[in-house]
Amino acid sequence: MAASLQFNFKPVFLTKSSTNHAAKFATIRCSASPPSKSYTITLLPGDGIGPEVISVAKNALQLVASLEGIKFKFNEMPMGGAALDLTGVPLPEETLLSAKQSDAVLLGAIGGYKWDNNEKHLKPETGLLQLREGLKVFANLRPATVLPQLVDASTLKKEVAEGVDLMVVRELTGGIYFGKPRGFSTNENGDELGFNTEVYAAHEIDRIARVAFETARKRRGKLCSVDKANVLEASMLWRKRVTSLASEYPDVELSHMYVDNAAMQLVRNPKQFDTIVTNNIFGDILSDEASMITGSIGMLPSASLGESGPGLFEPIHGSAPDIAGQDKANPLATVLSAAMLLKYGLGEEKAALRIEAAVLDTLNRGFRTGDIHSAGLNLVGCKEMGEQVLKSIDSSVPAAV
Which residues are designated catalytic?
177, 228, 260, 284, 288
Nearest to 55 by CA among 361, 327, 398, 350: 327
Residues 209 and 169: their CA atoms lie apart, in Å, by 9
Q: Are 297 and 291 in contact (CB under 8 A)?
A: yes
Per-position DSSP letters for 79-121, written without gaps between them: -THHHHHHHSSSS-HHHHHHHHHSSEEEEEE---GGGTTS-GG
Asked whether 60 and 92 are in contact (CB, 8 A), the reply is: no
Half-sphere exposure of 351 (CA within 13 A, CB side): 27
Give residue 307's Cα distance to chain centre. 17
Paired strand residues for 39: 72
For strands 139-145 and 301-305, give the pairing. Answer: antiparallel
